[in-house]
Structure 1
Amino acid sequence: MMQLTLIGIGTGNPEHLTLQAVRAINAQDMILIPRKGEGKADLAELRRAICDEVLTNTSTRIVEFDLPVRDEATPDYRQRVDDWHDAIALAWVEAMGGTPVGKVALLVWGDPSLYDSTLRIAARLNPAPQITVIPGITSLQALTAAHAIPINDIGAPFVVTTGRRLRDEGWPTGVDTLAIMLDGACAFQTLSPEGLHIWWGGYVGMKEQIICEGPLAEVGERIVKMRAEARESHGWIMDIYILRRV
């Protein structure tokens, strides 16, 4: 039976690895590293850098593969995501040589359990592997640390959601604090900024980290500009933000 280990690597900073993650990396027969095209070559390079720093097991093979591109032409969002995940699972199997056996690991940004689909993709493998998850630092933790803030008010709930849902559905009822992930279009621009405070960060926890905070009415346009310039410079960006009614 194949043993698949999903290892949370935080934001790509080797210092974010737990001791458990380092031990798991060194226990593998194979580590799969996805390539996401030239514009996101840094992402594969960061995974390689992590392996260079902590991998001491000389028998562990590092195998790279091209990550399939999601077909945005399919009108149904859920269907195009499902099709994409099917294609990724197939790419994993092909990278393993067509026979998923032994101990194989993937290095997962943040934590495999929070807004990440690696576990859902793994469920598509046949035969089903034995799965082990090594938790990692999430971008949400890195963001609150960068701004030195707690995410919740005393005794108050908060909601973690996506930019797409914020744009399409507006502010969720019953909460005053939102953490917004997977937002490629600065969905906060769809809100009335009055009475809202934002804590934003790009590449949080990495050497490229950029952050900005303040009343949304005052810093919203600045964040949009910072994000666009950073994405142009690096070819990719991972960002996250917290919104709070004040």
Structure 2
Amino acid sequence: MTGLYIFNVDQSISSNFKFINDIKKFYTEKLLIVEKTLTKYFFQAQTIENISLENQDLKKYRLLYAQKNLELTKIKDVHEELKNYKSDLKLAKVLSYVDFDDFTKVWLDVKKTDSKIEGLISENYAAGIVVNKGNQALALLNGNEKSNYAVFIGENKAPGITHGLSNSNTLLAKFIPIWINIKVGDEVITSGMDNIFFEGLKVGKVVAIKKMADMQEAKIEPFVNALEQNFFYIYSKKPVVKVIEKTTTKPLVKPVKTTKPTSKKP
């Protein structure tokens, strides 16, 4: 009964005092406008903050790009011979083993007539080298004793040369300077110092280190099992042959023929 009475009173007041309804309506509308304005403001503020952070990241990457681009330009200016080389990747299929008792040597379906050693790539990893054998491409996979290429080890970029280990799934990096610190877990990448690979192609990680009097060796667990692959990419870096066209220039003025004066006999 009390609720009904209050409702009736409110209805009676509303009918007799219309300005109260106008005030309630005005208040409600203004409240909604303020709420929408605040929501819009905070949304815009958050958006502006996000864009500002993204802009800072873009500026950072732009500066890093400019720095690296400048370094590359300086390197090219110092080493003019880099401009005279081009890189090439060629897909090759494994045909067969060379010897049935050695799985680290396979024939590829590519003809090879030069004596240049080329890099073998599988799944973005270094997988071995390619040599010429009877004008046919012969792949010496990681694990083969003669699969040698230059690498960098760890953050200090300790140089080394890979060698295969017989009856093992690991590689051995030899001739590492004893004064450069390396550790187990270091990542091994190609150095490109031998022109077989480019720098930065991943090889594997160090699992053991052997220190000697004047050098050290690192046992490497490769990232890819090259013995299980049926397709490879052959990487080569070849000099650009510049063809100089011979041009013949015609003289602008035709030569004037001269005749010897004839002397008359007296």
Could you say whether these structures have the same fold, taking a TM-score greater than 0.5 normalized by the shorter chain as the test? no
Which TM-score band (shorter chain)?
A: under 0.3
Which structure is higher in RCO with an 8 Å CA cutoff and minimum separation 6? 1
